[in-house]
Amino acid sequence: MRYFLFLLLTLGILGPASAGPMEALAAYKRGDYETAFTEWVDLANHGMTKAQYYVGIMHIKGQGTEPNPISGARYIKMAAIDGYAPAQHIFGMLFHKGKGVDKDLIRAYLWLSLAVLHGREKAGVERDKVWWQMAPPQVAKARLKLADLVADNRTGLGDDRKAAQIVKALAETGHAEAQLKLAKLYFEGRGVTRDIIESYKWHTLSAFRGNIEAQATDAQLRSHMTQKQIDEASSRAANWAPCRQGNREC
């Protein structure tokens, strides 16, 4: 994308007003916000991620343009979806504060977590603030969704192992949906070593906690197992106890 934009700039396709990202940044640093905004808007509308981020920030702060948090959030979102950690950080904060978007603690937690996973460590401070304001069901929902995003290549992560770790941490607390999800991961060998005994253990625990899907598919999973494997998995499930360490990574 950057090389493509460079060609557009070189050939003059973006127009004479688009001097380029370096000139826009220089204008911004010297306080010439109108020039910076004009340069960055053109680049942002042609798909440059960092330009989208800066345009979003300037809309929110009213630098070089009238304050417009809604437009700012829209540009920040573009950069966040592209995997730009600073934009993910800001987008999460916007959801936390309800600025330019409806306040949503789950989305705030998700975007701030993605920023941390992309190397934006200071986003973790804001994420922890969000965590303390969330009810346990919200935290669980956010973590399951985060696991899906971490495993998705479109987020720039595509890390099945990390996703499985997130699911397992939640399953260990006794969360039935996470336990069923972990059972599926063990059955498929996705993010973990394939282990049908562990799969049935977690499947059994989920069913015991009332998960309807787990209850309905019990016989189907058992059909892939020997009686010895079923007995071992059942024994592990009977001896399992939920994590009670009292911390969020329990």
pLDDT digits (tens, 9 = 90+) for 5-55: 444 443 344 444 445 888 899 999 999 999 999 999 999 999 999 999 999
| CA–CA dist 197, 190 (Å, integer) | 15
Contacts of 208 (CB under 8 A, 6+ apart): 237
pLDDT at residue 244 in the model: 66
pLDDT digits (tens, 9 = 90+) for 90-135: 999 999 999 999 999 999 999 999 999 999 999 999 999 999 999 9
pLDDT at residue 225 in the model: 97
| CA–CA dist 56, 51 (Å, integer) | 8
Q: From residue 136, give the alpha-carbon distance in Å to each of 168, 175, 177.
A: 16, 10, 14
Sign of CA dihedral 86, 91, 92, 94: positive
Contacts of 26 (CB under 8 A, 6+ apart): none
Contact 141, 106 (CB under 8 A): yes
- Please state the rounded mean pLDDT for residues 238-249: 70
Instruction: Please give the backbone phi and psi of residue 120, each rounded to the nearest 5 degrees, phi first.
Output: -90, 80
Residue 130 lies in a domain: no
3-state secondary structure of 46: coil
Question: Does residue 227 carry a pLDDT above 70?
Answer: yes
- Residue 153: band (very low, low, confident or very high) from pLDDT cuts 50, 70, 90: confident
Residue 174 lies in a domain: yes
pLDDT at residue 250 in the model: 54
Residue 36 lies in a domain: no
Most distant CA atoms of the chain, gap in Å: 75
Residue, of 9 and 214, whose pLDDT is higher: 214
Residue 238 lies in a domain: yes
pLDDT at residue 7 in the model: 42
Question: Does residue 243 carry a pLDDT above 60?
Answer: yes
Residue type, 64: G
Q: Which domain range does residue 236 map to? A: 135-250
pLDDT digits (tens, 9 = 90+) for 47-95: 999 999 999 999 999 999 999 999 999 999 999 998 999 999 999 999 9
What is the residue whose two structure tokens read 């192992």? 161
Q: What is the CATH number for 161? A: 1.25.40
Residue type, 84: Y
Residue 43 lies in a domain: no
Residue 11 lies in a domain: no
Question: Does residue 220 carry a pLDDT above 90?
Answer: yes
Total domain count, the chain: 1
| CA–CA dist 234, 250 (Å, integer) | 23
Question: Does residue 189 carry a pLDDT above 80?
Answer: yes
pLDDT at residue 155 in the model: 81
Residue 123 lies in a domain: no
DSSP code at position 249? T
What is the residue whose two structure tokens read 């986003």? 123
Residue 139 lies in a domain: yes
